[in-house]
Amino acid sequence: MTTFSFYIYIFIYLFSHTHFSFPFNHKKMTISLPILDLSKYQLDQPDSASSKEFLKELYDAMSEVGFFYICNHGVPLELQQKSFDSIKSFFKLPIEQKLEIELKKSPHFRGYSKLNSETTDYKQDNREQIDLGRDQPTVPIENNPTYAHLRGPNQWPRQIPGFKETITELMDSMAEIGLIILNAMARVLEFNQEEFMSLFGKDYGVRCKLIRYPALNNPIDKPLDHGLGVGPHKDTGFLALLLQDEIGGLQVQAQNGQWLDAEPIPDTFIVNIGEILERLTRQTFVATTHRVINKSLENYADRFSIPLFLSPSLETKIPQIDLNTATKRKIVSDVKQDQLLQDEIYGVNELGGFIRSHKETADTWYYLNQEQNQWQRKPLITP
């Protein structure tokens, strides 16, 4: 999409939806995903009428599908558009150039994964992507838990001017919004603010993906027939924030197991709950299962999206807190048990997730110590 057509799209959208009844699903007449106005929440005045209204809406959104939109978030449209332009330019590069920053080169699981090289729910995903995180120094192999190697530097493409700056600015802005929502969630859940936020000390985790989903009828990329851009899964972290373009394809599994379309709404972010919040609240709030389907579209229009994942520091032992304000939810999910949170320590889960998804990278840098049933770093081979 060019910048011009992006604005035309927003213009047409706003004129065709006089109020935000979207994404009410007319075909299936099912639950709609709520839209929350983030500007109502005043961080410094959490007891104001406006903040309270936001918190009530947030509680409802978290208790229902656990997936919602936020509008009036403060991230400029220009930055959103510039970010999409940058990632589109990257994915257009010849494959040899994209592979210069291949994920396999990074023990920190940062970099480019080519189409179909990632696995979710035992299937190859129909997407290509760049994985990023906070740019951090590497840690020595000795005397560090294996998951500590998830920290490290990013691999940035050299070909697209301003790529790193634009994407870093977007990631920072999204993380900032994520932290505001986190703060609001802590209030909603009546957690001790300090205790809750201490899970997110200065070393909290930020991970991000820049993704391209080729159309199902794309004659060049020919996605696999199962038609899943990414298979059913729950996000491992605490919450995810997603910027998606106008194509659509993201689907959310409702409490009754039915799949709902999370239709694109211009200038909004989608927020969803991850597994940490599920464990922390003993399943009072459930991480929502979701997937992306590749659509068959005229002109083989590809879909682009940018999810950002916020999580506690890798070392955090995830506590379990009893909430007396809500009841446990029944969980209907297509995700298999062995694909879910397995360990009390957050980093073990995040590492496990990357290892399941990226076998080649995992085998390059890690091995399974059978005796200890633990993944460990292979020693570095010096030439």
Ligand X SMILES: O=C(O)CCC(=O)C(=O)O
With binding defined as CB under 5 A, does residue 350 bind Fe ion?
Answer: no
How near is the Cβ of 214 to ligand X at its closest, in Å? 13
Q: What DSSP string runs through 60-83?
A: HHHHTTSEEEEE-----HHHHHHH
**DSSP secondary structure, 187-251, as one string:** HHTT--HHHHHHTT-TT-EEEEEEEEE--TT-TTT---TT-EEEEEE--SSSEEEEEE-SS--EE
Which lies closer to Fe ion via its Cβ, residue 235 or residue 302?
Answer: 235
Q: Which stretch binds Fe ion (CB under 5 A): 186-194, 210-218, 227-235, 298-306?
A: 227-235
Q: Of Fe ion, ligand X, none, which one sits near residue 211, judging by CB under 5 to 8 A according to partner kind?
A: ligand X
Selection from ligand X, Fe ion, none that 305 binds (CB < 5 to 8 A by kind) is: ligand X
Cα(280)–Cα(322) distance, integer angstroms: 8
Nearest residue to 84 (alpha-carbon basis) of 2, 156, 16, 27:
2
Structure-token match 């969980």, residue found: 331
For 309, the 3-state DSSP assignment is strand
Spatial separation of the C-alpha atoms in residues 301 and 217, rounded to whole Å: 9
Total residues in contact with Fe ion, by rule CB under 5 A: 1
> Residue 192 corresponds to which tokens in the numbers above?
């001790």
Query: Which residue's structure tokens are 């480019």?
Result: 112
Q: Is 365 helix (H, G, I), strand (E, B) or coil?
A: helix
What b-and-e string marks burial along 221-242, b requiring 16 or more CB atoms within 10 Å of the CB?
bebeeeebbbbbbbbbbbbbbb
Residue 173 interacts, among Fe ion, ligand X, none and using kind-specific CB cut-offs from 5 to 8 Å, with none
Closer to Fe ion by Cβ: residue 160 or 260? 260
CB nearer to Fe ion: give 57 or 235: 235
Q: Which residues bind ligand X (CB under 6 A)?
A: 209, 211, 230, 235, 242, 244, 250, 290, 292, 305, 307
Q: Residue 250 touches which of ligand X, Fe ion, none (CB < 5 to 8 A by kind)? A: ligand X
Nearer to Fe ion, 23 or 353 (CB): 353
**Residue 174 CB, nearest approach to ligand X (Å):** 14
CB atoms within 10 A of CB 34: 18
**Minimum distance from residue 272 beta carbon to ligand X (Å):** 8
Closest CB 245 distance from ligand X, rounded Å: 10
In sign, the C-alpha dihedral spanning 224, 229, 231, 232 is: negative
Rounded to the nearest whole angstrom, what is the least distance from the CB of residue 81 to ligand X in the complex?
18
Which of Fe ion, ligand X, none is residue 292 near (CB under 5 to 8 Å by kind)?
A: ligand X
Residue number with CB closer to ligand X (129 or 166): 129
Residue 308, binding choice from ligand X, Fe ion, none, Cβ under 5 to 8 Å by partner class: none
Cβ–Cβ < 8 Å for 323, 189: yes
Contact between residue 253 and residue 290 where contact means Cβ atoms under 8 Å apart: yes
Nearest to Fe ion of 148, 308 (CB atom) = 308
CA angle 198/203/206 to nearest 5° reads 110
281 binds, among ligand X, Fe ion, none (CB under 5 to 8 A by kind): none
Per CB under 5 A, does 118 bind Fe ion? Answer: no
C-beta of residue 244 within 8 angstroms of C-beta of residue 264: yes
CB 81 within 8 A of CB 58: no
Q: Please say which residue, 286 or 292, places its beta carbon nearer to ligand X.
A: 292
Chain residue whose CB lies nearest ligand X: 305
Q: Provide, rounded to whole angstroms, the least separation between the CB of residue 17 and Fe ion.
A: 26
Q: For Fe ion, which stretch binds (CB under 5 A), given 178-186, 230-238, 296-304, 354-362?
A: 230-238
Contact call for residue 235 and Fe ion (CB under 5 A)? yes
Q: Which residues make up the interface to Fe ion (CB under 5 A)?
A: 235
